[in-house]
Amino acid sequence: MDFDDFMYIIPKMKDITTTEDYNGKEFQDIMSPKERLDIDIASVQDAKEAAVLGYIYPNQDDKTCILLTLRADYDGEHSAQVSFPGGKKEAEDETLKDTAKRETMEELGLNYCDILFVFPLSQVYIPTSNFLVTPFIGINSEIPEFKTNEEVAKLIEVSVSELLKDKYVGTEFVNTSYGKKMEVPCFKIDEHIVWGATAMILNEVKELFKLAMQ
């Protein structure tokens, strides 16, 4: 997908999310481990707030890409997992949108003007770390220059055109908070397994693209 085509589509994606009958959770549930399907976000209490960013931009060939990151190894639940840039809301953040932008700037070495916010997606609850995550879509109309910090082990550039072909979708056995070697739906991107909350959010983005292109 050429980036000019994406810029034509993105207002339609935003409009879709504001309609009364839009239900992003149904798109997320397609890639949810079955043990998480019964979680009612409205009933979640005392969760920590976090925000992530689906960062969309043109590559050197002017093709539309969305960025994922491989987290560095650390002592925590999400060590060495594939994720969107983002993190926990801090006292300095007035809104979760501020959180998503600050964290993305810190992790990817971007400037304030490198991120144009477009709209939020559906929230995701992560039981193992007790985070209620709000995803946002952000864009850059220019080719970004990334300078990652110590939290990021690798950048994973995902072609939107390839994402829409379903070529990455599969299942994999992984160790989860529910048990070891559990079969979960996932995206298989290069040598990386993308599952859990990241896969759920990525699938909502994918289905939004499809709706906007109809």
Residue 75: domain span: 3-165+197-212
Rounded Cα–Cα distance for residues 17 and 211 (Å): 10
Two tokens, residue 133:
């995550």
Q: Looking at residue 192, what is its pLDDT?
A: 95
Confidence of residue 43 (pLDDT cuts 50, 70, 90): confident
pLDDT of res. 36: 82
- d(C-alpha 144, C-alpha 57), whole Å: 7
Q: Given this model, what pLDDT does residue 175 score?
A: 77
Q: What is the pLDDT of residue 177?
A: 63
Flag whether 188 is in a domain. no
Which CATH number covers residue 78? Answer: 3.90.79.10
Q: CA–CA separation, 82 vs 139, rounded Å?
A: 20
Residue 204 located in a structural domain: yes
Residue range 12-33: mean pLDDT, rounded: 96
Say what the pLDDT of residue 147 is.
97
Residue 55 in any domain: the answer is: yes
Residues 6+ apart with CB under 8 A from 140: 55, 56, 57, 110, 114, 115, 116
Q: Does 146 fall in a domain? A: yes
| Confidence (pLDDT) at 141 | 96
Question: What pLDDT, on the 0 to 100 scale, is given for residue 41?
Answer: 85
What does the alpha-carbon distance between residue 96 and residue 141 come to, in Å, rounded to a whole number?
A: 23
Instruction: Give residue 42's pLDDT.
Output: 81
Task: Report if residue 19 sits inside a domain.
Answer: yes
**Residue 112: inside a domain, yes or no?**
yes
Query: Helix, strand, coil: what percent of the chain each, to 5?
Result: 30, 35, 35
> For residue 176, is it within any domain?
no
Predicted pLDDT of residue 104 = 97
56: pLDDT strictly greater than 80 = yes
**Is residue 149 domain-resident?**
yes
- pLDDT higher than threshold 60 for residue 29: yes
**Looking at residue 125, what is its pLDDT?**
94
**Does 79 have pLDDT greater than 70?**
no
Q: How much is the pLDDT for 55? A: 98
Residue-wise pLDDT tens digits, 135-149: 999 999 999 999 999
Region for 109 from its dihedrals, namely left if φ exceeds 0, alpha if ψ lies in -120 to 50, beta otherwise: left
**Residues 102, 185: Cα–Cα separation, whole Å:** 30
Question: Does position 75 have pLDDT exceeding 60, yes or no?
Answer: no
pLDDT in tens, 92-117: 999 999 999 999 999 999 999 999 99
Q: Mean pLDDT for the chain?
A: 93
State how many domains the chain has.
Answer: 1
